[in-house]
Each structure stands twice: as C-alpha cells, then as structure tokens.
C-alpha cells in the first residue's frame, strides 16, 4: 500500500519569507491535452483574454506600456490591474566564488569518475521585471556566466540564455516563486546534452492542465492583487511513467517504501507539489532506461520539476534536498553508484550563504 506524504506547500516553499498565511482545500480541475512541439516565439504573442470561468490565460511577456511596480513586503508586485500582473522575489548575488568553490570541492573529493554539474536556475525577475527595476538589481544571466567561469572540477549547465530566448512562453508562474514545468523541460534538455544522455522529444509527454492556480505569492505572502488572474499550471507526464518505480527514504537514507512520482490529488493551490509531494525525503526513481547512468540531484524545490524530464535519460535518479539531508553527500554518492551529480539550485539558494554552506556541511558529515 502506498504511503501518502502529508507535507504540503510549506515544505515546497520553505525557501520563502512568508508574511501571511491562508488555508485552502480546493480540488484541482485537471485536463489532459495533446502535446506538440513547444512554440518557438521570436516576438511576444498578443494577450489572450478570458478562457474559463476560473482563470484567464495570458501571455507571460509583452508587459503593458505602463511598467508599474511596487514592493509587497519582501516581494515585487508588477503590472497590477492587468492580465499580466506578476509577483517576483528580489535577487541577491555575490561574486559566485563561494558557490563555485563548494561545487569544485565536491567534484574533487567525489573523484573524476563521477561527472559533477551545477545548474543555476534563474528566478522570474530575470526575464519579466520592468526595465527600470532591472537597472537596480544584479543581472542573473551575467551572474550565471561569472560563476561558471570559476568552475574547475565541475561543469556549468547554461540555461539562462535558452530561457531568455523562450521567455514569451509560459515559463514562470505569475503567482508563485517557481518556474513552470515548461521551463524545466528546456533546462533538462540542456543538461541531457551536457551529460551526453538520450532525451525524449516534447511531443511524447502527456500534458495535464490545472486551472485556477494561485501560488505561494498569494497563499503565503498574501498578495491579493494576484487573485483576479490565476495561473494555468501545466505539467508533463513521461511516456515511461508506468515503467518507473519510485521509492521514498527518510532524510537519513533509511525506512524505504514504495510511493509515487506524481501527487495528483494535491489541491489546486499546492500545484507545484505535484512533483514528488514533498522536499523532506530522499527519493529514488528506478526507470526502464538501460544505460547504467545513475544521477543524484542535490537541489532545492526548483529541482523537483526536472525529474519527469529525465526518466528517459538515466537508469536511476536520486533526489536529495540540501535542506533535508542528514548523511554525508560524498558517501551517499558512492553508496548509490552515481555516475553523475547535478546541483540544481534556484536563485534564492545560489544567492544565499546559508544555503550554499549546506553543500560544504554535507561533505564534512
């Protein structure tokens, strides 16, 4: 019998600084849709108005002529009163040397037989902030390049440029901190190319739409201006999902039991936790990909969305959240026979000394 993970949105958003709380119990309205090739847009599409009674589907780019914004607690609220209203988190960055040093140290200690990668995942501010505001904040695309130049024993997975090219698509939720799964698809494709593993075509996935999504900027940070224009959250199920086995361990790598990769009964406001259900576990995904490549992902919550796009690239995947990990990372990597290690970290982690220091701490345990 499958156990259900009871941790909800609090675990998925524990990186955030909450300034309010709400309680919801709304079941999602899910619709499976056919998937073709993702659109390649060179210009922002026009705004599309009302589609359903629960949500309005809009372009995520082409901001209104009046690029207004204000601070909403520790967050940025832009384009209020328009279909493109969006909340964003502020980006903080140093010179990248501490992060690069920690990743280099891991790669050197785990040995050359293990391929080590760093993926710095930008926040939505990098692509959708009003131009006037961007001038006052560090440039995330340049930050990525500067950090990757300092990697010596590891490789940087460059995703900022490809996401920037596709920013007219629905890459980031407007009401939540996280990226949309479509952005994770593009990032996973770049990683698969860097790791030289197979990668499934986009049209092999089953798309599932959840309408009326109001994410953590609304449910945790209480930004009421977002309520008028909820997000459409679309996730993608791989063709080999039925052949995958998913196992959950406690954070000490004990207590193994079989569970599921997608938690589709999560309420609509917890849509991002559809992926693996929680951060507070070590998770193993055994796939039917026969290439003897074993991937360990050390991540924050952004990394969860990568996993469904990699089940046809690696024979086995382990998912470990640095905030909930209580064993030595070097020992763990060798214990599971990893051939590849990916550090997949969002901007709130790559700009935080405390979050980066977890990489160093886990090597010393």
- Please report which confidence band the pLDDT of residue 12 belongs to, taking 50, 70 and 90 as the band edges: very low
Q: Is pLDDT above 90 for 59?
A: no
pLDDT digits (tens, 9 = 90+) for 69-107: 999 888 999 999 999 999 999 998 878 999 999 999 999
Q: Is pLDDT above 70 for 109?
A: yes
φ and ψ at residue 59, rounded to 5 degrees: -65, 145
HSE-CB for 188 with a 13 A CA cutoff: 29
pLDDT of res. 177: 95
The percentage of residues in the chain with a pLDDT greater than 90, rounded to a whole number, is 76
| DSSP three-state, residue 94 | coil
Contact yes or no for 165/158 (Cβ under 8 A): no
Average pLDDT over residues 288-299: 98
* pTM of the entire predicted model: 0.86
pLDDT digits (tens, 9 = 90+) for 151-202: 999 999 999 999 999 998 999 999 999 999 999 999 999 999 999 999 999 9
DSSP assignment of 165-194 equals: HTTTSS-B-SSSSSBPHHHHHHHHHHHHHH
**Residue 18 in tokens:** 């909450």
| E strands present in the chain | 30-33, 69-72, 75-78, 86-89, 115-121, 155-156, 206-213, 231-237, 245-249, 257-259, 282-286, 294-299, 316-321, 340-346
Spatial separation of the C-alpha atoms in residues 151 and 361, rounded to whole Å: 19
Q: Is pLDDT above 70 for 19?
A: no
DSSP assigned state of 15: T
- Please report which confidence band the pLDDT of residue 38 belongs to, taking 50, 70 and 90 as the band edges: low
Q: Is pLDDT above 50 for 127?
A: yes
Q: Among the listed ranges 10-19, 184-193, 290-299, which one has the minimum average pLDDT value?
A: 10-19
Which position has the token pair 């200690």? 109
| DSSP three-state, residue 262 | strand
Q: Is pLDDT above 60 for 34?
A: no
Residues in the chain, overall count: 365
pLDDT of res. 161: 95
Which position has the token pair 């089940």? 311
Which residue, 353, 16, 357, is CA-closest to 175? 16
Question: Mean pLDDT score of the chain, rounded to an integer?
Answer: 86
Spatial separation of the C-alpha atoms in residues 138 and 156, rounded to whole Å: 19
Q: Beta partners for 91?
A: none
Q: Which helix (H) or strand (E) holds 130?
A: none
Spatial separation of the C-alpha atoms in residues 344 and 43, rounded to whole Å: 29
Which residue, 257, 339, 255, 254, is CA-closest to 297? 339
Contact yes or no for 81/98 (Cβ under 8 A): no
Other CB atoms closer than 10 Å to residue 135's CB: what's the count?
A: 9
pLDDT of res. 93: 84
pLDDT digits (tens, 9 = 90+) for 255-280: 999 999 999 999 999 999 999 899 99
Q: Is pLDDT above 50 for 9?
A: no
Spatial separation of the C-alpha atoms in residues 331 and 337, rounded to whole Å: 10
How many angstroms from the chain centroid is the CA of residue 238? 17
DSSP assigned state of 45: P
Contact yes or no for 205/238 (Cβ under 8 A): yes
- Please report which confidence band the pLDDT of residue 29 belongs to, taking 50, 70 and 90 as the band edges: low
| E strands present in 83-146 | 86-89, 115-121
Spatial separation of the C-alpha atoms in residues 258 and 246, rounded to whole Å: 6
pLDDT of res. 247: 98
Other CB atoms closer than 10 Å to residue 113's CB: what's the count?
A: 8
Which position has the token pair 């709400």? 22
Higher pLDDT, 43 or 336: 336
DSSP assignment of 206-257 equals: EEEEEEEE--HHHHTT--GGGTTSPEEEEEEE-TTGGG-EEEEE-TTS---E
């Amino acid at each position: 019998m499958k156990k259900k993970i009871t941790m909800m949105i609090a675990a998925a958003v524990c990186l955030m600084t909450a300034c309010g709380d709400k309680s919801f119990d709304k079941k999602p309205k899910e619709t499976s849709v056919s998937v073709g090739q993702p659109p390649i847009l060179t210009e922002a599409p026009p705004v599309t108005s009302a589609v359903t009674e629960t949500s309005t589907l809009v372009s995520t780019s082409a901001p209104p002529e009046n690029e207004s914004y204000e601070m909403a607690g520790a967050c940025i609220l832009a384009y209020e009163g328009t279909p493109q209203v969006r909340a964003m988190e502020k980006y903080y960055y140093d010179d990248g040397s501490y992060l690069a040093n920690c990743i280099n140290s891991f790669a050197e200690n785990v040995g050359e037989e293990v391929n080590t990668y760093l993926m710095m995942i930008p926040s939505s501010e990098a692509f959708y902030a009003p131009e006037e505001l961007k001038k006052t904040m560090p440039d995330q695309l340049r930050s990525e390049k500067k950090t990757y130049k300092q990697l010596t024993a590891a490789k940087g997975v460059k995703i900022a440029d490809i996401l920037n090219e596709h920013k007219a698509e629905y890459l980031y939720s407007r009401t939540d901190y996280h990226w949309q799964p479509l952005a994770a698809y593009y990032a996973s494709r770049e990683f698969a190319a860097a790791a030289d593993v197979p990668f499934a075509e986009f049209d092999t996935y089953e798309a599932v739409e959840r309408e009326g999504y109001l994410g953590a900027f609304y449910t945790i940070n209480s930004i009421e201006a977002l309520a008028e224009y909820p997000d459409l959250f679309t996730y993608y199920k791989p063709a080999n999902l039925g052949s995958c086995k998913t196992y959950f361990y406690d954070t000490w790598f004990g207590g193994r039991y079989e569970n599921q990769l997608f938690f589709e009964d999560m309420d609509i406001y917890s849509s991002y936790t559809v992926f693996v259900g929680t951060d507070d576990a070590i998770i193993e995904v055994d796939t039917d990909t026969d290439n003897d490549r074993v991937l360990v992902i050390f991540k924050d919550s952004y990394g969860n969305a990568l996993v469904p796009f990699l089940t046809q690239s690696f024979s086995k995947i382990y998912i470990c959240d640095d905030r909930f990990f209580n064993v030595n990372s070097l020992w763990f990597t060798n214990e599971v026979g990893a051939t590849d290690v990916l550090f997949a970290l969002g901007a709130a982690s790559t700009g935080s000394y405390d979050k980066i220091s977890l990489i160093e701490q886990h090597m010393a345990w």
